């Protein structure tokens, strides 16, 4: 009884902040768009599956969804490749350095997200720092801003800490004796990494990939500010339905589809252990 009482605030919080909004959005997706305030037919009255039909009939949404999955996939792999050596270096650093380096990983959170993404515009634009650095060493000028590359750079930059932290948590608990044992048995440092360190950090890799991939799929701000107009991600599609077209039910339908697309594989993965 006491245990249930302790859990009560958590359930209340989940109900208000997760279950209720999800239900409202779900109900919204079955209503129809009408001019006026609010811009939809009453929730629950005369459920309408037209929005879901539109979702499947129009390739626009499918393409946007696939593009988002690809963007999130490439970005989370980039985060993994960049973040793994960083996490390993932090885990191997001395006691004093470790907290300093971890602070460095978290430091960007002290500045607004939007501000940091905007700062990348200054870095990536024609005549910006990256461009100047490239041309000053004789390389051709890079047209980066408003390209997919800029979008990937932005997402990788923004989500890197979410990769580093779970990886670090895992790698800092590794047993150094195992690495000594591998070396003792003839494994050079690279083989030791592949056969002992990497397999043991697999749970950290999966956690990091999930933490980056899931929010990156729905990311709106970075593709909008850094990406090209052709980069139609699901996040941008959703934003446009909601704010430009004022089609709340369609926006809700896209949001629901996205939620299902992410949730179903996650649940299946968990069920498999």
CB of 151 to other proteins, least distance (A): 37
Residue 13 in tokens: 């919080």
* CB nearer other proteins, residue 203 or residue 265: 203
In the bound state with other proteins, the residue whose beta carbon lies nearer, of 188 and 244, is: 188
Q: Which residue has the tokens 């179903």?
A: 264
Distance CA 62, CA 259 (A): 14
- Please name the residues in contact with 198: beta carbons below 8 A apart, sequence gap of 6 or more: none
For other proteins, give the closer residue by CB, 150 or 182. 182
Residues forming contacts to other proteins in the complex (CB under 8 A) are: 175, 177-178, 180-188, 191-192, 195-196, 199-200
In the complex, minimum distance from the CB of residue 179 to other proteins, in angstroms, rounded to a whole number: 9
Work out how close the CB of 175 gets to other proteins at its nearest, in angstroms, rounded to a whole number. 7
- Angle, helices 148-171 vs 202-217, to 10°: value is 150
**Smaller CB distance to other proteins: residue 84 or 159?**
84
CB of 214 to other proteins, least distance (A): 26
Q: Token match 């919080």: residue?
A: 13
The pairs formed by 121-125 with CB atoms below 8 angstroms and a separation of 24 or more are: 121/145, 121/225, 121/226, 124/150, 124/153, 124/226
Rounded-to-integer distance, Cα 211 and Cα 203, Å? 12
Between CA 110 and CA 133 the distance in angstroms is 27
C-alpha count within 13 angstroms, C-beta hemisphere, residue 168: 22
Q: Which is nearer to other proteins, 136 or 188 (CB)?
A: 188
Least distance (Å) from other proteins to the CB of residue 185? 4
Closer residue to other proteins (CB): 119 or 181: 181
- Rounded least distance, CB 209 to other proteins, Å: 19
């Amino acid at each position: 009884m006491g245990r249930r009482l302790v859990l009560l605030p958590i359930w209340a919080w989940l109900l208000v902040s997760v279950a209720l909004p999800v239900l409202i959005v779900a109900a919204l997706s079955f209503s129809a768009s009408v001019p006026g305030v609010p811009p939809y037919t009453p929730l629950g009255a005369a459920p309408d599956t037209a929005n879901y039909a539109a979702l499947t009939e129009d390739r626009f949404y499918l393409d946007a969804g696939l593009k988002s999955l690809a963007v999130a996939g490439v970005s989370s792999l980039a985060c993994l490749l960049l973040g793994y050596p960083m996490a390993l270096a932090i885990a191997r650093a001395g006691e004093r350095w470790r907290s300093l380096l971890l602070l460095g990983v978290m430091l960007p959170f002290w500045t607004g997200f939007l501000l940091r993404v905007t700062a990348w515009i200054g870095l990536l634009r024609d005549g910006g720092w990256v461009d100047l650095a490239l041309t000053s060493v004789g390389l051709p000028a890079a047209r980066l801003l408003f390209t997919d590359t800029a979008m990937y750079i932005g997402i990788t930059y923004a989500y890197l800490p979410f990769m580093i932290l779970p990886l670090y948590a895992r790698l800092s608990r590794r047993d150094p004796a195992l690495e000594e044992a591998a070396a003792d048995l003839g494994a050079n440092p690279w083989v030791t990494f592949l056969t002992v360190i990497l397999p043991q950090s697999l749970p950290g890799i999966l956690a990091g990939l999930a933490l980056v991939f899931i929010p990156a799929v729905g990311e709106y701000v970075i593709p909008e500010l850094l990406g090209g107009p052709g980069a139609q991600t699901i996040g941008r599609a959703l934003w446009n339905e909601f704010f430009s077209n004022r089609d709340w039910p369609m926006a809700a339908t896209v949001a629901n589809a996205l939620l299902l697309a992410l949730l179903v594989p996650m649940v299946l993965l968990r069920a498999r252990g």
